[in-house]
Structure formats: structure tokens, C-alpha cells
């Protein structure tokens, strides 16, 4: 049994609306600088920029990280020098956005397991030598 002409038109309209919605979202990501075009041979491929990758990891950490057991924390300790203040400020603001709580100078804790994502962001920002990530236990 085939699709009626009216059903086909409705389906095509839904596809066109989906395409427009996708295109608008894609354009917003490009305008934010999260996606860029790269030429690979004769192909043009859209890829995430470093800031796009950080935003994607941040969203996953904020919304999909599992809670740790009672008394356990993901602890981030850093001492990023003034020469790298832009990366330090970006890192500190990201920790706040994803739910880390300031405990004392450059010591931040969260009740979720986020170490792998934080480690990836630290690598992207090239601040590995100044950041340590621990799982801590409350006494």
C-alpha cells in the first residue's frame, strides 16, 4: 500500500521544515565560531573548532555526568600563571558553569564524575602542567 499524494506532500513539508531548522542551528554554531570549514583534498568538511569542542564537552559534563557516591568529589586544583590568564579565566568560568564549587584559592570540587572531560578541556587549553584532577573523599 503506497503513500497518498496528500501524505507525500505533508511528509515533504516536514522534511523541508526539518532541513530549515537544522540549517539555522548549524548557522548559529558557525556564527559562534564552534564549527569551521576545512578542505581535505577536494572535499570541504565541517569540523568542530577548539571552542566548539570545549562547548560540546561542557554540555555533556553539565547534563550527563553521573553523581559520585556520598562523600566523594571530583576535585580540580590549579595554579595557572598570569602569562596564561586568558586560559585560566576561561577554565575557571567553565568550572563554574558545569557545577564546580569554589573551596579555596584554585581548588574546586563537584559531586559528579567529570575527570575525563575536564582532562580533555585541559589538554585543549594547553594548561596540563598547571592543573591536577583528583577524586577526593570526605572524612
Inter-residue contact 41 to 93 (CB < 8 Å): no
- Whole-prediction pTM value? 0.80
40-52 pLDDT per residue, tens: 899 989 899 999 9
Between the alpha carbon of residue 96 and those of residues 11, 37, 43, 93, 101, the distances in Å are: 44, 31, 39, 5, 7
90-124 pLDDT per residue, tens: 999 999 999 999 998 899 999 999 999 999 999 99
Average pLDDT in the 58-70 region? 94
> E strand or H helix at 45, and its extent?
strand 43-48
Amino acid at each position: 500500500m503506497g503513500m497518498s499524494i496528500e501524505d507525500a506532500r505533508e511528509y515533504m513539508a516536514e522534511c523541508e521544515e526539518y532541513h530549515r531548522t537544522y540549517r539555522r542551528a548549524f548557522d548559529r554554531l558557525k556564527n559562534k565560531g564552534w564549527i569551521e570549514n576545512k578542505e581535505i583534498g577536494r572535499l570541504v568538511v565541517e569540523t568542530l573548532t577548539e571552542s566548539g569542542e570545549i562547548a560540546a564537552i561542557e554540555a555533556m559534563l553539565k547534563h550527563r555526568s553521573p553523581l559520585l557516591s556520598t562523600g566523594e568529589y571530583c576535585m580540580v586544583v590549579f595554579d595557572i600563571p598570569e602569562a596564561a590568564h586568558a586560559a585560566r579565566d576561561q577554565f575557571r568560568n567553565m568550572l563554574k558553569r558545569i557545577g564546580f564549587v569554589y573551596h579555596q584559592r584554585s581548588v574546586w570540587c563537584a559531586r559528579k564524575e567529570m575527570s575525563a572531560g575536564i582532562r580533555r578541556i585541559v589538554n585543549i587549553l594547553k594548561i596540563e602542567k598547571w592543573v591536577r584532577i583528583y577524586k577526593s573523599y570526605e572524612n
